[in-house]
Structure 1
Amino acid sequence: MTSIGTVTPRARPQAGPAWLVLSLACACQFMVILDASIVNVALPSVQRDLGFTSTGLAWVVNGYLLAFSGFMLLGGRAADLFGPRRMLAAGLSLFSAASLVGGLATTPEVLVAARVVQGVGAAMMAPATLAVLNTRFTEEHMRARAFGAWSASGGVGGMAGAVAGGAITTGLSWRWVFLVNVPIGAALIAVAMVSLAGTRTGGREPLDLAGAVTGTAGLAALIYGVMRSADHAWTSAQVLMPIGASLLLLVAFVAVEARFATRPMVPLRLFGIRRVAVGNGMLLLFGGISTAMWYFTSLFLQNVLGFSALQAGLGQTPAAVAFLVIARRAAALLPRTGVRPLVLVGCACFVAGFGWLSLAHAGSGYVTGVLGPTLLIAAGIGLTFPTLMAAATADGPEGDAGVIGGLANTAGQAGGSIGLAVLATAAGARTALEADGGSPATALAAGYDLVFLMAAGLGLAIAAVSMLLPRHRRG
């Protein structure tokens, strides 16, 4: 009982059950990946309806990636300061509203602007979901399983997007690949408000404004410069000027974080945690692996083997299913084996799978030319992606869970953006060399085969970096 005059403290709402919190995090990851993959197959229809130029059409994809990668660190620190519940709900609201605008767009400018805003919303969502997982699942086995499920949900999103994008574009309209996000987002906002009711709401420290400006602008300028290399030479002013500006901004960012910020957006001490530093380095390299697998394999199926958009999506479905199954298994193995063994086996799959895929040509059959090697590569992705995410977000303080999640997502997204630009440039140059002596399909196949060989090299690089990880200690 309480005496008269005593103020009874208000009971704090209880967080939802673990399964509901995990389901929310997985659904948000599914939504982000679904949106990226579902748009790719709709691009030709978008170009015809809105009158995009070939260069402008690329910004339907690049605008999203640029904002997503550039704002991720800011989103991660904001999740720590204001709480993952608020940031997740705000990100979902922004993402859903931008999807509605994109689905109703009547001009190229409006659609690209909507995609940029979608990217900002995704940059708020992704680190918030990782912050939720890091703080809600602290026991090693449960945490590993949670990360396995979160990673696998991305595979489901990629698989569903590739198939659903072709089906929706063919049966309805490309507009519905955006509009489908609206009801999904509304449902997830409701779940977030209920399931995260008792989570930490963040502190009252001020946002590191100088770090936010220099860090976000530096990352965005870097990615923008790399993306410009698709249309201009690497030595051109269009590429070198934004990259040079990004280097100056990032140097300023490091100085601000090290010397002036009282509450740094990215505490540099985090890079003193070996798992965090090495894990992020491997995720940066892994971004190129993922791009080579999903993006360039889809192009090979359509441009070389003559598959339709829907057929290409179905053709990648077995690999997506393999990734889903193996990612869940990797999560169960991780507490027993540690990070390095799973990464090394995964890298062996990359080298063998991409080496096999690089032999494909215009006359190859689907089963032996594409299906076999992509199943092997998908096995490698299933082993490595959840493992790398768990490594890159482990050992950090709970108060930095959001920014650690932002770092991991930024590394993967930046690696994918840079990898796309570098690999696309290499493929284009090789295709141009082969164009005079054969059919267009043969020339394109030569370019894609070079990409696959380069991806095999990235697999070797990840294996080498994994040697820097600390030894696994069994509990």
Structure 2
Amino acid sequence: MATKEAPAVASRRWAALFFIGLAQLMIVLDGTVVNIALPSLQRDLGISDGDRQWIITAYTLAFGGLLLLGGRIADYTGRKRTFLIALLGFTAASALGGAASGFETLLVARALQGAFGALLGPSALSLLTVMFTLPKDRAKAFGIWGAISAAGGAVGLLAGGALTDYLDWRWCLYVNIPIAVIAVVGGYVMLTESRREGRARLDIPGVLLVSAGLVAVVYATGRAEADGWRSATVVGLLAAGVVLLAAFVLVESRVPQPLLPLRVLAHRTRGAAYLSVGLTGLGMFGAFLFMTYYMQVAKGYSPIRTGVAFLPMVMMVLVSAAGLTARLMPRVPPRTLIVPGMLISAAGLLWMTTLDPGTGYAGGVLVTGLLFGLGAGMIMPVAINYATHGVDPGDSGVASASVNAAQQVGSSIGLALLNTIATSATVDYLASHGGSPAIAKQALVEGFGTASAWAAGILTVGALIVAALMNAARPEEQSAAEDSGDAAPLLAHS
């Protein structure tokens, strides 16, 4: 039988989770908090329309390109040490960005935020993975973590609107400083160091290949929004990214100490979990984008009112992830939560197709937000748990980085693809109905509805794939088998 923890040890772990969760909130929040402030900072710093995308892109490129390296650094140099250094670096970069007097300084600050975020995300999740091993405690911890991951983006929209309206766009960056300071102090006191045994040998070819490949894919999808998917630049970058990532897989199968051991990805349950996280990122950030523009452009909401309108979705995520899912996760196989969650999220996106400029909040955005919040809260805790479940403790950092990479690539490709679909549908509607202001709003909503239907279809297909792939046993059964020394039959099917 699994032994119980001493009360003091258990309470210390839950206290540590609070500070790790603050770091994760800061990372997720930073992915959207600047978006609402973008028009204000653009005017203040005199940034051109052509350059403004780099404020977002600089962060996503550095974050996505360096994630796997950050995970491996955490494994070998110490997860607590990496966590604390990354927090301090993220704080300094946020302060630099908030104080920026020009475009160049802000660009450097955002790139540094992304780089330190690529250290912080994997180290935080890997600390959680090695701290919580008992199924019930792990379910509660990942329920909280999943709620933060799913709700953080919407919290960022609310915080961005409030800070921009009532203070200044610079506070969208300064807000990270007090959060990080609290996390640093608490993490230093509460966390215990853990690292992979043995001497570190950095897989330089693997680092270069995967970083260049991820940067090429993320940058290409960002360019696709403006240049179109058929442009030579986008096609060339996507092709280069695919070739580089294929070469990375080949190298990793041959080097003695790979950056990303292929056994981490080859596991059926973990592979399905990464797919779930990536597709949920696609749907989640697509929903944020469409709902934000629908409320601000079609309905005329202010930034702060838009942020408040997301609150029911945030609350539903918290109830679903930390309540329903945390209770069921130790008792049921993972796909019995993830698959319905993906289908419920798809239903939320489909509801967007029923909206028009005159639809009321209660019958429109509220329904979409509640459905998507319920679904995301069922997916994220379980998927993140099983994306790191059963991994060798020495590989927990790079497995955690793979989760972050799946979400980053999924959301980047998804946003670019869905935005292209929405724009094309809007242009087609205008071409056939005219260009009056009323028609323009309806055309915008038609575009969002078309793209949401595509996103719902992608999530539905993903749910079917996950249902076929993810056939892991219930955690309690797996734990009992491991305690009795008979885990092999269960693991063979997972």
CA contact under 8 A between 2:318 and 2:377: conserved in structure 1?
yes
Could you say which residue in structure 2 is the equivalent of 1:52?
Answer: 47
Distance (Å, rounded) in 1 between the aligned partners of 2:343 and 2:118:
32
Q: 1:348 to 1:198 in 2, by over 3 A?
A: closer
Matches within 5 A, 1:326-475: 326-328=320-322, 329-436=324-431, 437-438=433-434, 439-466=439-466, 467-473=468-474, 474-475=476-477
Say which of 66, 72, 78 aligns to 2:67: 72
The residue identity in structure 2 corresponding to 1:179 is Y
CA contact under 8 A between 1:282 and 1:465: conserved in structure 2?
no
Distance (Å, rounded) in 1 between the aligned partners of 2:279 and 2:224:
19
Deviation by residue 1:107-143 (Cα, 9 ceiling, x = unmatched): 2222122111111111111111111111110111111
Matches within 5 A, 1:233-272: 233-259=228-254, 261-272=255-266
Shift of 1:52: 2.1
Distance (Å, rounded) in 1 between the aligned partners of 2:384 and 2:178:
29
Answer yes or no: is 1:20 the counterpart of 2:42.
no
SS in 1 for 2:63: helix
SS in 1 for 2:230: coil
Deviation by residue 1:157-204 (Cα, 9 ceiling, x = unmatched): 334322222121111110111012123222222222222244347642
SS in 1 for 2:200: coil
How many residue pairs match? The answer is: 461
Distance (Å, rounded) in 2 between the aligned partners of 1:348 and 1:233:
30
Could you say which residue in structure 2 is the equivalent of 1:177?
Answer: 172
Deviation by residue 1:55-100 (Cα, 9 ceiling, x = unmatched): 3222222221222111111111111111111211121122111111
Q: Which runs of 5+ in 2 are unaligned?
A: 1-8, 478-494
Matches within 5 A, 1:21-170: 21-170=16-165
Deviation by residue 1:204-237 (Cα, 9 ceiling, x = unmatched): 2221111111111111111111111011122222
Could you say which residue in structure 2 is the equivalent of 1:292?
Answer: 286
TM-score under structure 1 normalisation? Answer: 0.93
Shift of 1:445: 0.6
Percent identical pairs in the alignment equals 37
Q: Which runs of 5+ in 1 are unaligned?
A: 1-13
Distance (Å, rounded) in 2 between the aligned partners of 1:444 and 1:311:
20
Shift of 1:16: 8.4
Shift of 1:43: 1.1
Could you say which residue in structure 2 is the equivalent of 1:10?
Answer: none
Shift of 1:471: 4.0
Say which of 315, 318, 335 aligns to 1:321: 315
Distance (Å, rounded) in 2 between the aligned partners of 1:229 and 1:380:
29
Shift of 1:358: 1.3
Q: 1:471 to 1:134 in 2, by over 3 A?
A: closer
SS in 2 for 1:299: helix
CA contact under 8 A between 1:357 and 1:374: conserved in structure 2?
no
Shift of 1:319: 0.6
Distance (Å, rounded) in 2 between the aligned partners of 1:64 and 1:35:
9
The residue identity in structure 2 corresponding to 1:245 is A
Deviates more, 1:342-351 or 1:312-321: 342-351
Could you say which residue in structure 1 is the equivalent of 2:302?
Answer: 308
Detail structure 1 runs of 4+ shifted over 4 Å in the superposition.
none
TM-score under structure 2 normalisation? Answer: 0.90
The residue identity in structure 1 corresponding to 2:359 is S
Distance (Å, rounded) in 2 between the aligned partners of 1:370 and 1:69:
30
Distance (Å, rounded) in 2 between the aligned partners of 1:236 and 1:168:
38
SS in 2 for 1:266: coil
The residue identity in structure 1 corresponding to 2:168 is S
